[in-house]
Amino acid sequence: MVYIQGENKPDGDDSDGCPFCRLLDSGQPDSDSLIVARGELVFAILNLYPYNPGHLMVLPYRHVADYTELTAEETIAVAEYTQRAMRVIRKISAPHGFNIGLNQGPVAGAGIAAHLHQHVVPRWGGDSNFMPVIGHTKVLPQLLGETWKLLSDAWVE
């Protein structure tokens, strides 16, 4: 409900109002900001409102909204970090599949449209049950801090 009601949503399209840019500039430890790994051009961060345990996002450091605004190097880095995320998630939790995607613009479902982010969502057979449909909520069997520890430890191995 926090997400639906708009808490933590950006104030505008510039980097000052961007929650991702604010996290990068906050100086807080990666464990607090949920940043799993940092590369030269991109980083991976757990989704604060995950669909499933291990749901993370790959983002360029540069504040850009549209996929076409990425440089060739950033495009490659996003792809390579997405592959790495899949390998790491497979290693620690053996999902049966993945949803991977970019939501370009609010009409396409982007909650934070001003800073491009690619979702990497692990999926398991039967992972959707009555709770999202009837209870309008998702039950996750793992706390974000536990997920962060597993992913960040496996990322460096």
Residues taking part in catalysis: 117
- C-alpha to C-alpha distance for 13 and 113, rounded to whole angstroms: 8
Q: Which of 95, 10, 3 is nearest to 47 (CA)?
A: 3
Inter-residue contact 43 to 35 (CB < 8 Å): yes
